[in-house]
Structure 1
Amino acid sequence: MFMVSLIGAAAAPLMVFIGYLDYKAKKPDMPVLFSEAFSQTNLYVLLLIGTLLYGVITAYLFNREYVEDTLKNLLTIPVSKISFIASKLVLLFIWILVLTLVAWGLTFILGWIGQYEGLSAGVLLQSLKQFLIGGSLLFLLSTPTIFVTFLFKNYVPTIIFTAVITMGNVALANREYKALYPWSAVHLIADNGFVPEYPPLYSYAAIIATAIIGLIATIVYFKKADIH
């Protein structure tokens, strides 16, 4: 699963690279900037690929004990249900950060191969900051996905849930309401591209509220659930 996720993380940098190759073929005299490549890649990661990919990873981590019928054995070691959730969250956070760094690093490598222009320490640090902020915020928004996974104990509803979230990102991409939709607000915060209609506080509040509600619902449901 980890190797498959690495392929998924490489999708956005490759898509952007292919797009810029086509751009250079049509306009060979126009420069391609590293800053634009990093920005476009992070856009694809946060609004499209990342939402789906991290949702599948979340479902895999939190559902595998149900699939393999090992959860009841884990809880008799004893491992508390809270500790079980916490350990999974730590692993998920590390996993997301690794994939974030892979996407960022591959963008840099492909940009070097494609001879993008405008490379500087400032561009590298700023882009890395944006990637890490975006990945961390998407991690916070994994709690509703965890709840859906525990509720249905199946991969399919979770994948459908993340697909619907992604469709919401696409639908709101060019609308001011994206500042209020938690998953699209992630990109606004990471890219510092807030819309004038809504102050940044609204975006932060939407993400934090969604993360907290999802976590509380997950803990309450999992603590009350009977493990057979």
Structure 2
Amino acid sequence: MPENIQNKLNISQIADKLLKDASVRFSKCEVENLLKLFSKCSRDAEKMDRMRFRDVLHNMFEMTDDMLMDRTFKAFDRDNDSLISKEEWVKGMSIYLKGSLEEQAKFCFDVYSMSAVNATESVISREDIHSMLKHCLVKQPTEEDPDEGVKDLVDLMLKKMDFDKDGRLSYEEYRRSVVEDPLLLEAFGPCLPCPKTRLVFLRSIEDPKMKKNNGNSGEVVAAAAESKLRPVP
């Protein structure tokens, strides 16, 4: 069997297996295109390393913050082997691009949480929040001590979200805050794609038949014109 036909068969089989998982919210064509993109970005390796994943976040989703890119990698890397498998890639992208509010809340919490109460329970500590907000905020020329402003903001966020007043956020506290006010989803830094890059990426992996049925809205055309991303061949 010719190699290209074998590759298509393998991709189809992997897609069929992944689609049995209810958490995967893509069509078969979209999953296959995601797998093709995975192979291209990982240079045909079975798993994608941190640097190649960072390239994806930077080039396709315009993420520039080193800390958030590394933490997003951690959230995708579910088995903590410092590599992203094809399964982690597709399931991660499903939440990243099409997840419900609760799913994306769990994803963002995993990005933000670096501390732990024990071996199984992660939390977002005061130090985590300070570190992330310090990276996100732009220093003003008139500020003598910008760190004081960050500390005040950390106190404000904990006052609003830390319901048991223990100086850290459990997942349940973070989830409850986000459900009550969805604007808090990315309170500690942009770790989800903006509407434009999300739209362009989804269009790039879309089934051609769907593109024809949906037509090309002005919004899609404008976003595509501004993006370097091209459809998966």
TM-score range, shorter chain: under 0.3
How high is the TM-score relative to the length of structure 2? 0.25
**Larger helix percent:** 1
Greater strand content: 2
User: What TM-score, normalized to structure 1?
Assistant: 0.26
Larger relative contact order (CA 8 Å, sep ≥ 6): 1
